[in-house]
């Protein structure tokens, strides 16, 4: 994202009242937590093994034409 876009966003945030800014901050923090959890899950060996097993179980359906 280019600096001018960030400046526009910053000015837009400045135009919000404190309640709106707090909501936005909490929303952003929530999004970051969710993304971090997804990254952690994707790197978890147990989850990787489970996904591999599921993929193997469904491999036979790759050729059923549906």
What global pTM score does this model have? 0.65
Report the alpha-carbon distance of residue 9 to residue 4 in Å, rounded: 9
Alpha helix segments (H runs only) across the chain:
3-14, 18-43, 45-58
Banded model confidence at residue 66, pLDDT cuts 50, 70, 90? low
Q: Name residue, tokens 């960030």.
A: 6
Average pLDDT over residues 37-42: 94
Q: How do the domains of the chain map onto residue ranges? A: 17-60
């Amino acid at each position: 994202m280019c600096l001018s876009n960030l400046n526009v966003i910053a000015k837009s945030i400045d135009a919000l009242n404190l309640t709106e800014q707090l909501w936005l901050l909490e929303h952003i923090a929530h999004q970051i937590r969710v993304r971090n959890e997804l990254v952690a899950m994707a790197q978890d060996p147990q989850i990787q093994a489970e996904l591999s097993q599921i993929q193997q179980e469904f491999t036979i359906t790759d050729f059923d034409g549906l």
